Chains A and B, each alone.
Chain A
């Protein structure tokens, strides 16, 4: 016995959630050739087919690109700190890809490493993730190279499998998922399954071995010469989480703000003294691969990558993890 739901019912549900005061995010067509996850304005806004995956990730709904940590008021000598302690509104992310959902349990580690980042934790607790298993993959996908697959339920509260003709099988993985869909589905005999994943494109263990033993290898210089040092890869990535804390003073509203940052920026590690441990782009590219395939696994037992391919798809010059890792393995 399975549970099924139609596309129109899903849209109606989304509209219901929006009307009920929940934040609902999902894929939407932003431009003729651009699909992004964003806050949905209506049930019809939700895009369920006709694209590989959105160009961004769902991390922005749990780890926003700009987050006010606290405000402050300066009264002469004294300072008043102003915190926003209001509860997080309930949030639903609908039609996330497995490679987006799987990043959440991976990110849980770093945001709770000894110190608990409650900004992230509270949003995580208030969010229900409904994943849509993939029905296709393209040449930039490589989830299977990082121990994932197109039907993975990791990080999802519920997962939808396409049955065709606008129907989906729904499987609830957690209480949150069940609570969301309680009474909203129909019983059926039909079951869906995920497509087989792409062929493995590289060996993650071999990449880890290379990157830990070839720190000074000329490979980095040769490969990274064309990297232009923007933040597109890091910001499109479901797992990248590096951030900055800025205090831009009165003109910016007297607040400390946590913002996304990227290890590819030239001033990421620049010291005030002028010294920069990573003064050239090859060193910065090396850091990205090291962090994802060696450092994070060493600390938390997980690769900091879900193989979504966004970095390679979005990179203005065609680099990205897939490109680098493939070269390490086969080049």
Chain B
């Protein structure tokens, strides 16, 4: 092959202004040679680097992405790179789950004095990427690997014992004016009850799927006044996280916790919380088999046992069915942004079209925005009309949060959240 035909990789480097950019500049003034394949994009701080930017670079044709900033402790903004490091730890896990070739993404700490390190890192990364060849496997399909699908039981509708007590309690709450509205379950789905006599419409049975805490953020509901919200123990965990993020105050709602016998959803097989822990009133008695551990479901292990190319093909097939209905976002209690990033248009950060690229960008954004926040209520998966295995994505980041930071969303109200906090000892063995 002639020199002109040899493949030359395109490398995009996101670098922080204060350290790595100056380090690259130093390499220039010191006349240190390094391959011209790299295009530098300068940002104020690695803490500013949205994970979406890394994926975007690969989407528009980069064969490799380098992300580099100040050493921990040297950040111009004190803690920007600590936040970045934490995000990178989680984001790599998500990318790995998706089957993205992690060899094509490199992270490094390069200071303003380390011109030589810049030369070294860029040269080695370019050589490595040249060896790997052009990145053609992104969103490639054609393989149809078998990933076990979640199991949903469809039992006959069966009322739980506490149903009549629930109606009495809610009747009283409304009649006495303790609350103005009860958000509960009805015959066909959630109901919002404002009159005491309508408490009769409330049900409590094995088809009470919805996570009703998602309604607390809706402005039409807020306008009604103080609410009582019926929660299963799994839904209650959302309140723990919402409270941490200042979206929910205990005094602003009356939490009616229901001991649960399971609603036949995939999550129920791994349930460890049959009793509510933080409710204002708890009804019912937990029944059913002993709770199992919340060890990672086998399905995730089966996915990760596949080679990355198969994982990528699996997710491409899944995401190709996405129609951008945003049911996953709307049912999620943790998706409370007044204007979602995907609805913003200056600039358009996530392609709104339901194309392969647009769907991947959305799914990655959704999953990553829930890292360490998703409590596993499973509503997104149930709501998806295209049957996309969203639970599997959420599980991967849930496990990443557990393994890396010992964090379980919704468990401990006092534990520091994963994203937004950092420690000086967060792992960085993957960072050059």
Contacts and interface: CB of A to CB of B under 8 A. Distances in A.
Contacts of B358: 66, 248, 252
B272 interface: no
Interface in B203-224: 210, 214-215, 218-221
A36 B215 contact: no
Interface residues of A, number: 46
Interface stretch (A83-91, A154-162, A255-263): A255-263
Contacts of B352: 244, 246, 248, 259
Interface string A212-252: 00000000010011101111101110000000101011111
Interface stretch (B306-314, B326-334, B416-424): B326-334
B304 interface: no
B321 interface: yes
Given A32-B149, A259-B352, A267-B343, A316 B324 contact: no
A191 interface: no
A252 B352 CA distance: 9
A226 B353 contact: no
B44 interface: no
A267 B343 CA distance: 8
Interface string B373-390: 000000100110111000
A281 B220 contact: yes
Of B220, B343, B348, the most chain A CB neighbours within 10 A belong to: B220
Nearest to B356: A66
B191 interface: yes
A318 B382 CA distance: 12
A23 interface: no
A200 B348 CA distance: 46
Contacts of A259: 324, 352-354
A318 B331 CA distance: 13
Contacts of B331: 228, 230, 316-317
Given A252-B353, A257-B355, A317 B385 contact: no
Nearest to B338: A266
B353 A248 contact: yes
B323 interface: yes
A73 B326 CA distance: 31
Interface string A163-195: 000000000000000000000000000000000
A30 interface: yes
B348 A232 contact: no
B357 interface: yes
A127 interface: no
B86 to A, nearest CB: 27
A225 B385 contact: no
A280 B219 contact: yes
Of A31, A232, A314, A323, the most chain B CB neighbours within 10 A belong to: A232
A137 interface: no
A128 interface: no
A31 B386 CA distance: 10
Interface in B130-164: 149, 151-152, 154
B325 interface: yes
Of A34, A236, A323, the most chain B CB neighbours within 10 A belong to: A34
A66 B379 CA distance: 26
Contacts of B330: 228-230, 316
A316 B327 contact: yes
B59 interface: yes
B192 interface: yes
B326 A231 contact: yes
Given A267-B343, A282-B220, A248 B351 contact: yes
B374 to A, nearest CB: 17
A110 interface: no
A306 interface: no
Given A252-B353, A259-B353, A260-B354, A65 B149 contact: no
Contact of B192 (A225, A236, A260, A319): A225
Contacts of B151: 32
Given A56-B385, A225-B221, A251-B56, A317 B325 contact: no
Interface string B47-76: 000000000100110000000000000000
11 contacts: A55-B386, A221-B220, A226-B191, A229-B330, A232-B325, A246-B352, A248-B348, A251-B348, A252-B355, A259-B352, A314-B385
List of 5 A-B pairs having minimum Cβ-Cβ separation, nearest first: A318-B189, A318-B188, A316-B383, A231-B325, A34-B387
Given A280-B219, A317-B189, 9 more contacts: A31-B149, A36-B387, A225-B220, A231-B325, A232-B383, A236-B385, A246-B352, A252-B348, A314-B385
Interface of A: 30-34, 36, 38, 55-56, 65-66, 221, 224-226, 228-232, 234-236, 244, 246, 248-252, 257, 259-260, 262, 265, 267, 280-282, 314-319, 323
Interface of B: 56, 59-60, 149, 151-152, 154, 186, 188-192, 210, 214-215, 218-221, 321, 323-327, 329-331, 339, 343, 347-348, 351-355, 357-358, 379, 382-383, 385-387
